[in-house]
């Protein structure tokens, strides 16, 4: 029988009709005799929309009336940089900054910034403008060292400036001075990106360099132990690297190297003039060294054919009776020795935890119980943390591509990537049919995505505020500067901020992220993102 007219869809025939309710009134409570469903229908849970109704939202970072709130991070939007940086590069947890700490503690909201300095612009957005000011370099505040930005104020016919971060005044270099208009702004403000945009790339003069800019370097370290060979991970890694050699950016100057390991470490010489690479075995995994480091790296255009032949032959070389032992820690240490003169990116493709040599890790999961399982989240050995710091010192970024069949103690291994600005990719349990395409795509994206090399990052705040903590993948050797050997377009970090004193009424809170880095083309630059937000009393 069909439901009675006026009954809700899906009502059972013969069931009592629900009592009518006024529009906007709360739903009627179930009677004691009715059996209410205890399950929640996921389809009825409200969710924030991730797409606007009519295409991407157009967002100007500042307008005549002041700062406007940025679109939600999960929506599509196109940014016009009008004096504040795009929220893709730097976004505050609050769009209006509290005037005093007491107001902040009342609302119990986190106070900080999400910073993604190398984020890729969306389609329809302009890239970050490049400004070359010659050997003079960018104008900076003499007191707090903030970089010139659209919120610097100029006075005395443009001969002096006032910093928006600390309030200090200073002289404008004669070659940079410009007359002011009736509104107090420089007449050339709209012609100079650093005076009208929140994001800018300054070409760094020689004073910002401690050594010549580094060339891109990719070093592949492959696990050739039994776990990797029998699972198919080793063969797939060789095939993926061979396919990727044609995608390496700037092959005329990018260098590449390769090593394998099991109970020993095998380096491969790429010396020009050889018909095939010479294998150099390092059996002493307690005192590791890099044999002939001068020839362990070769320019892609010059050694591509030699490497392709090596990658074709490696699976057959390790197919019969591969050793069960894996000297991963020693192999990383040896690769670092090879990369010390140049820095670069170290890709570690491993299928088992280190069982011999430096940094041996035992299976802690087997003996864990409900009372001790929480200890698995903490590193068992500080060796890899110290190794990561050593890599960061020599501008070596470590990316881990892990293909185990079981437990691998990620908590102990991940400091290698975390301290160097690298990534951790886990494929477990590794299935060649399912995971090989993903491994190839992840490796390819790690190589071709926009990346900053030799990075040093600092976040500055205006007077009355201070940075307390940083969270992300980097090496922090001082309270203010972060060493980031590689900062790609996907890397972000969180910066925690607190009040030191009450903020001046009627002023704006200013934040600036400065990243000194080397482009993959070999140019040293300073990427500066500036954000100025209104201060509120309520």
Which are the contacts of 256, defined by CB distance < 8 A and separation ≥ 6? Answer: 217, 218, 219, 220, 245, 248, 270, 297, 298, 300, 303, 307
**Domain shared by 88 and 115, yes or no:** yes
pLDDT tier for residue 369 given thresholds of 50, 70 and 90: confident
Q: Where is average pLDDT lowest: 235-244, 341-350, 504-513?
A: 504-513
Res 9: pLDDT: 46
| Paired tokens of 114 | 């999400």
Res 511: pLDDT: 98
Res 251: pLDDT: 95
Residue 158 lies in a domain: no
**Domain shared by 472 and 353, yes or no:** no
Inform me whether the pLDDT recorded for 389 exceeds 70.
yes
Interhelix angle 432-448/233-244, rounded to 10 degrees, is 30
CATH number of the domain encompassing residue 56: 2.60.40.1670
Measured torsion, CA atoms of residues 429, 373, 382, 411, in degrees rounded to the nearest 10:
30
**Domain shared by 116 and 236, yes or no:** no
**Domain shared by 343 and 432, yes or no:** yes
Residue 83 lies in a domain: yes
Which H, E and C letters describe 145-179, residue by residue? CCECCCCCEEECCCCEEECCCCCCEEECCHHHCCC
pLDDT tier for residue 410 given thresholds of 50, 70 and 90: very high
Q: Which of 448, 471, 504 is the last residue of a domain?
A: 448
Residue 72 lies in a domain: yes
Global pTM reads 0.87
Res 51: pLDDT: 59
CATH number of the domain encompassing residue 297: 3.40.50.410
Inform me whether the pLDDT recorded for 7 exceeds 60.
no
**Domain shared by 349 and 247, yes or no:** yes
Which are the contacts of 122, defined by CB distance < 8 A and separation ≥ 6? Answer: 56, 76, 77, 78, 79, 88
**Domain shared by 240 and 221, yes or no:** yes
C-alpha–C-alpha distance, residues 396 and 196, integer Å: 36
CA 106 → CA 98, 101, 109, distances in Å? 11, 9, 8
Residue identified by tokens 């002493």 is 284
pLDDT digit string, tens, across residues 79-110: 999 999 999 999 999 999 999 888 877 878 89
C-alpha–C-alpha distance, residues 353 and 86, integer Å: 42
- 3 state SS of 263: coil
Per the structure, the complete domain to which residue 296 belongs is given by 217-448
Helix (H) / strand (E) element for 471: namely strand 465-471
Inform me whether the pLDDT recorded for 23 exceeds 50.
no
Q: What are phi and psi of 179, to 5 degrees?
A: -65, 160
Q: How many CA atoms lie within 13 A of 273 on its CB side?
A: 2
CA 155 → CA 18, 180, 322, distances in Å? 74, 8, 74
Count of structural domains within the chain:
2
Inform me whether the pLDDT recorded for 403 exceeds 90.
yes
**Percentage of residues in the chain with pLDDT exceeding 70?**
92
Residue 152 lies in a domain: no
Res 273: pLDDT: 85
Higher pLDDT, 28 or 88: 88
Res 50: pLDDT: 58
C-alpha–C-alpha distance, residues 472 and 493, integer Å: 5
Res 506: pLDDT: 77
Res 106: pLDDT: 80
| Paired tokens of 68 | 């406007």
């Amino acid at each position: 029988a069909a439901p009675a007219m006026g009954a809700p869809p899906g009502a059972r025939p013969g069931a009592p009709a629900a009592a009518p309710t006024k529009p906007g009134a709360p739903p009627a409570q179930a009677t004691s005799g009715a059996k209410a469903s205890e399950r929640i229908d996921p389809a009825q849970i409200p969710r924030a929309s991730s797409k606007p109704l009519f295409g991407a939202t157009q967002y100007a970072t500042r307008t005549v009336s002041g700062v406007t709130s940025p679109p939600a991070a999960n929506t599509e939007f196109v940014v016009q940089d009008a004096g504040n940086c795009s929220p893709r590069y730097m976004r505050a947890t609050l769009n209006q900054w509290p005037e005093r700490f007491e107001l902040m503690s009342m609302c119990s909201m986190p106070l900080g910034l999400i910073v993604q300095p190398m984020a890729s612009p969306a389609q329809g957005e302009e890239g970050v403008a490049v400004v070359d000011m010659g050997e003079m370099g960018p104008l900076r505040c003499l007191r707090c060292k903030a970089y010139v930005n659209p919120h610097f104020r100029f006075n005395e016919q443009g001969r002096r400036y006032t910093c928006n971060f600390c309030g200090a005044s200073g002289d404008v270099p004669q070659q940079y001075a410009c007359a002011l208009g009736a509104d107090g702004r420089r007449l050339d403000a709209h012609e100079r990106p650093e005076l009208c945009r929140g994001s800018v790339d300054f070409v760094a003069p020689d004073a910002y360099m401690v050594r010549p800019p580094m060339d891109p370097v990719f070093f592949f370290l492959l696990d050739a132990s039994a776990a990797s060979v029998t699972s198919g991970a080793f063969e797939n890694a060789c095939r993926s690297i061979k396919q990727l050699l044609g995608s390496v950016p700037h092959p005329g100057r990018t260098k590449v190297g390769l090593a394998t390991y099991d109970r020993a470490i095998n380096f491969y010489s790429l010396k020009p003039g050889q018909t095939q690479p010479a294998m150099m075995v390092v059996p002493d995994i307690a005192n590791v060294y890099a044999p002939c480091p001068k020839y362990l790296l070769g320019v892609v255009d010059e050694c591509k054919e030699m490497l392709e032949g090596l990658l074709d032959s490696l699976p057959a070389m390790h197919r019969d009776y591969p050793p069960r032992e894996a000297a991963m820690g020693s192999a990383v240490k040896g690769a670092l020795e090879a990369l010390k003169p140049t820095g670069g990116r170290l890709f570690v493709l491993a299928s088992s935890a280190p069982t011999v040599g430096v940094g041996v890790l035992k299976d802690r999961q087997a003996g864990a119980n409900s009372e001790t399982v929480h200890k698995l989240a903490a590193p068992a050995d500080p060796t890899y943390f110290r190794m990561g710091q050593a890599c960061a010192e020599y501008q070596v970024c470590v990316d881990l591509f892990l293909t185990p069949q079981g437990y691998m103690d990620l908590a102990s291994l991940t400091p290698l990537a975390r301290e160097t600005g690298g990534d951790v990719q886990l494929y477990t349990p590794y299935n060649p049919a399912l995971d090989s395409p993903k491994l190839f795509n992840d490796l390819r994206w790690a190589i071709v995505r926009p990346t900053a090399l030799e990075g040093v990052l600092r976040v500055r705040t205006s007077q009355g505020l201070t940075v307390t903590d940083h969270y992300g993948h980097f090496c922090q050797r001082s309270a203010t500067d972060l060493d980031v050997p590689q900062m790609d377009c996907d890397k972000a970090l969180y910066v925690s901020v607190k009040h030191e004193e009450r903020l001046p009424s009627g002023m704006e809170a200013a934040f600036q992220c400065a990243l000194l880095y080397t482009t993959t083309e070999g140019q040293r630059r300073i990427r500066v993102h500036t954000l100025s937000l209104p201060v509120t009393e309520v």
